[in-house]
Amino acid sequence: MQPGQMAYDRAITVFSPDGRLFQVEYARVAVTRGNTTVGLKFKNGVVLMADKKIASRLVEANSVEKIFQIDEHIGAATSGLVADARVLVDFARLVSQINKVTYNEPISLDLLVKRICDYKQNYTQYGGVRPFGTALLVGGVDPTGVHLYETDPSGALSCYKAGSIGAGRTSVMELLEERFRDNMTMDEVVLLGLEGLRRATEGDLDAKAIETGIASVDKKFHRLEEEQIQGFIDRLPPPAS
């Protein structure tokens, strides 16, 4: 820790002399220590994938949830503190349902993600609270098209064609920069996402530990079964030596 940093390190409401909020930066570090998560847009939809990091064979894999359904047309994948993510997912579901009851139409992704980020930003400017130690990839389809957003613990948001959060983000983004292209098919982006997770974990993939959710123009948000994921894993080319 740098000399003099301690005075600005303990309170969320105090900027350091160089304009930093250290607690927000520490929350970002919590995200980088989380599971690797990937989101990719394809021609008619979006795919969200997460490595669940099953630490023991005694753990029931289906009890570990990294991808959540927010509405019929929207899903979210999380990296960081899962308990924090559940709070945000519950908030997002509430916002989505209130919009549906009030306006009799599904919420747009742009509005939903901005509401989530407003909620996260509130926790960066009041004493007695801490920032959410989680980032979300929110993807889905609405009347304006296919969307994929990344949210940050600070409340910032970005829109991506393909993105990644978590411990393996750097290696996955390098692969996506090299291989992703517009108008890929669903199968192509699933295979690319799995290849990114394999590169991030530096080992063989286990279908039980991979969670995949898909939303498309012609089908509501749904998860792939373990057998379907294993079928994609079997189609992966061998890793480069």
Percentage of the chain exceeding pLDDT 70? 96
For residue 192, the model assigns a pLDDT of 97
CA distance 151 to 228: 29
For residue 8, the model assigns a pLDDT of 65
Mean pLDDT of 219-233: 95
Q: Quick: pLDDT tens for 105-154.
A: 999 999 999 999 999 999 998 888 899 999 999 999 999 999 999 999 99
Does residue 5 contact residue 23 with C-beta atoms inside 8 Å? no
| Superfamily (CATH H level) for 21-235 | Aminohydrolase, N-terminal nucleophile (Ntn) domain (3.60.20.10)
pTM of the entire predicted model? 0.92
Does residue 197 contact residue 232 with C-beta atoms inside 8 Å? no
**Helix, strand, coil % (nearest 5) of the chain?**
40, 25, 35
3-state secondary structure of 146: strand
For the chain, give the mean pLDDT. Answer: 92
Q: Quick: pLDDT tens for 64-107.
A: 899 999 999 999 999 999 999 999 999 999 999 999 999 999 99
Read off the tokens for 142.
């609405």
Task: Decide if pLDDT at 201 tops 90.
Answer: no
Q: Angle between the 186-201 and 169-179 helix axes, to the nearest 10 degrees?
A: 140
Instruction: Return the residue matching tokens 């992704």.
Output: 109
Backbone angles phi, psi at 99, to 5 degrees: -60, -40
For residue 7, the model assigns a pLDDT of 63
CA distance 31 to 208: 23
CA distance 201 to 179: 18
* All structural domains of the chain with their residue ranges: 21-235
For residue 2, the model assigns a pLDDT of 56
Backbone angles phi, psi at 93, to 5 degrees: -65, -40
Backbone angles phi, psi at 15, to 5 degrees: -80, 145
Task: Decide if pLDDT at 62 tops 60.
Answer: yes
For residue 213, the model assigns a pLDDT of 97
User: For residue 219, what are the β-bridge partners?
Assistant: 216
